[in-house]
């Protein structure tokens, strides 16, 4: 009886059958300024990913978000502002460089979408998905920069209706962002999204506030947590920390003339807590936030700023740079205390 001839398999054919040939766009960022880059080692949020801006109140998170949106406008991209914290200031946004004009009725217009009318998480994610659908179908021919300020300030539908709590909010974020939008946003990094002839990005910035979980034993280390559960943190390509973990970690830089005291700058820090782009993690970057953006944390930069914007501060203080103006630095009067999860 003749032997059975074994079928020969070509390993190259197997590799081709089960491998993909996905090509990705080059890694690009939105630019938040040279001082920002020098402080944390990153130009700003990475395109085609979720970026978390984490920090206590008044640590300049919104400043960085708006600067990224300003750069998006310069690139011809479309900033989408989702404002749920109700602290938005149009004058500040324009001062930072956002192109926006106010009409006779007080409405602001420009190359952006602005929406602050949401009650709960599911409304927001449905809104974002509709924009992504419009982009994918060709109805919206622009890259999207979605800026949500802030993710920890809005409940899920069940909580909004008085039937849920924190765990339901976290679950909604995990389902809608961690499992849903994360995949759609990441897909925009592909070379052929939405088409090879017309490559576009979807990028998301989520502004959030931290809380610190204290260890159960005296030898353990405190652990920083983000509001809304871990899903958005896990989905984020980069997590930027503004200020310190346990407290705000900022100082006010004040100018006083004739008994009038004005905070004209905030000294803060920008660190990288998570970086799935290139692995860089600067943890000690100091920076100064001023009404017009960021400057380096040096005496020379402060002196240059006061000179360059002397006309602006003349209006505020009635004279800037004269000998009768005193300068000081102080911590904010409010503080945040670390707490255990059970508290």
What's the CATH number where 271 sits?
A: 3.40.50.300
pLDDT at 334 over 60: no
Q: Considering the entire predicted model, what is its pTM? A: 0.90
The DSSP element (H or E) to which 293 belongs, if any, is strand 293-296
> Does the residue 256 lie in any domain?
no
Average pLDDT over the chain reads: 89
Tell me the pLDDT band of 223, cut-offs 50, 70 and 90: confident
> Does the residue 318 lie in any domain?
no
Tell me the pLDDT band of 341, cut-offs 50, 70 and 90: very low
> Does the residue 296 lie in any domain?
no
pLDDT of 283: 82
> Does the residue 334 lie in any domain?
no
> Does the residue 254 lie in any domain?
no
pLDDT of 248: 75
> Does the residue 316 lie in any domain?
no
Tell me the pLDDT band of 318, cut-offs 50, 70 and 90: low
Overall domain count for the chain: 1
pLDDT at 337 over 50: no
**Residue located via tokens 């000998």:** 323
| Domain membership of residue 125 as a residue range | 29-247+267-289
> Does the residue 295 lie in any domain?
no
Contact 73, 112 (CB under 8 A): yes
pLDDT of 267: 94
> Does the residue 226 lie in any domain?
yes
């Amino acid at each position: 009886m003749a032997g059975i001839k074994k079928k020969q398999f070509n390993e190259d054919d197997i590799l081709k059958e089960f491998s993909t040939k996905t090509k990705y766009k080059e890694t690009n960022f939105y630019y938040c300024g040279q001082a920002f880059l020098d402080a944390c080692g990153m130009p700003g949020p990475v395109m085609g990913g979720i970026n978390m801006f984490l920090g206590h109140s008044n640590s300049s998170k919104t400043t960085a978000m708006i600067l990224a949106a300003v750069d998006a406008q310069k690139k011809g991209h479309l900033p989408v502002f989702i404002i749920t914290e109700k602290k938005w200031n149009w004058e500040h946004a324009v001062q930072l460089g956002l192109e926006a004009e106010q009409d006779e009725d007080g409405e602001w217009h420009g190359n952006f979408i602005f929406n602050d009318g949401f009650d709960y998480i599911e409304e927001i994610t449905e809104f974002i998905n509709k924009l992504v659908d419009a982009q994918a179908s060709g109805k919206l021919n622009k890259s999207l920069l979605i800026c949500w300020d802030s993710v920890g300030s809005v409940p899920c539908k069940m909580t909004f209706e008085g039937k849920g709590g924190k765990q339901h909010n976290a679950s909604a974020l995990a389902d809608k962002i961690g499992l849903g939008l994360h995949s759609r946003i990441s897909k925009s990094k592909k070379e052929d999204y939405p088409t090879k002839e017309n490559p576009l990005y979807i990028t998301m910035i989520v502004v959030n506030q931290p809380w610190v979980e204290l260890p159960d034993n005296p030898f353990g280390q405190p652990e920083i947590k983000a509001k809304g559960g871990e899903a958005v943190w896990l989905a984020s390509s980069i997590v930027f920390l503004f200020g310190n973990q346990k407290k705000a970690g900022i100082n006010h830089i004040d100018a006083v003339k004739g008994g009038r005291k004005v905070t004209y700058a905030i000294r803060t820090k920008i660190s990288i807590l998570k970086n799935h782009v290139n692995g860089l993690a600067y943890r000690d970057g100091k920076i100064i936030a001023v009404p017009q953006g960021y400057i380096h944390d040096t005496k020379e930069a402060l002196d240059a700023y006061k000179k360059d914007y002397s006309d602006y501060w003349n209006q505020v203080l009635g004279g800037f740079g004269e000998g009768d103006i005193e300068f000081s630095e102080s911590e904010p009067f409010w503080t945040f205390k670390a707490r255990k999860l059970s508290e």
